[in-house]
Chains A and B, each alone.
Chain A
Amino acid sequence: MSVLDKPASRPSFLKRAWSFVVELWGVLIRPSSVFGLGVLVLAGFAAGVIFWGGFNTALELTNTEKFCTSCHEMHDNVFQELRSTIHFTNRSGVRATCPDCHVPHNWTDKIARKMQASKEVWGHLFGFIDTREKFVDKRLDLALHEWARFKANDSLECRNCHSAQSMDITKQSPRAAVAHERFLFPGEKTCIDCHKGIAHRLPDMRGVPGWQ
Chain B
Amino acid sequence: MIRKSAIALLVAAIAVGTGTLAAQTLNSGLRGPTPLNDEGPAPPMTSPRNTSEREVRNYPEQPPVIPHSIDGYQIDLNSNKCLSCHARARTAESRAPMVSITHFMDRDGQFLASISPRRFFCTECHVPQNAANPPVSNDFVDIDTMLSRATPGGRR
Contacts and interface: CB of A to CB of B under 8 A. Distances in A.
Interface of A: 84-86, 173-175, 178-179, 194, 197-198, 201-205, 210-212
Given A173-B50, A173-B68, A212 B114 contact: yes
A202 B51 CA distance: 27
A212 B74 contact: no
A84 B74 CA distance: 12
A210 B72 contact: no
Contacts of B78: 201-205
Contacts of A173: 50-52, 68-69
A212 B80 contact: yes
Contacts of B68: 173, 175
A197 B114 contact: no
Given A175-B52, A212-B114, A198 B84 contact: no
A124 B137 CA distance: 59
B115 A212 contact: yes
Given A173-B68, A197-B74, A201-B78, A212 B83 contact: yes
The 10 closest A-B CB pairs, nearest first, are A205-B79, A175-B52, A202-B79, A173-B50, A212-B83, A174-B52, A204-B78, A202-B78, A212-B87, A175-B68
Secondary structure dominating the interface of B: loop
A211 B69 CA distance: 19
B128 to A, nearest CB: 12
A194 B84 CA distance: 9
B51 to A, nearest CB: 6
29 contacts: A84-B72, A86-B71, A86-B72, A173-B52, A173-B68, A174-B50, A174-B51, A174-B52, A175-B52, A178-B95, A179-B94, A194-B84, A197-B79, A197-B81, A198-B72, A201-B78, A202-B78, A203-B78, A203-B79, A204-B78, A204-B79, A210-B84, A210-B90, A211-B80, A212-B80, A212-B83, A212-B87, A212-B114, A212-B115
Interface in B49-91: 50-53, 68-69, 71-72, 74, 77-81, 83-84, 87, 90
A211 B50 contact: no
Q: For this complex, into which size category does the number of interface residues on chain B fall?
A: 20 to 34
A173 B52 CA distance: 8
B12 to A, nearest CB: 59
A197 B95 CA distance: 22
Given A211-B84, A212-B83, 6 more contacts: A84-B72, A174-B51, A175-B50, A197-B79, A201-B74, A202-B79
B86 to A, nearest CB: 10
Interface in B27-68: 50-53, 68
A212 B80 CA distance: 7
Contacts of B87: 212
Contacts of A204: 77-79
A31 B48 CA distance: 77
Contacts of B50: 173-175
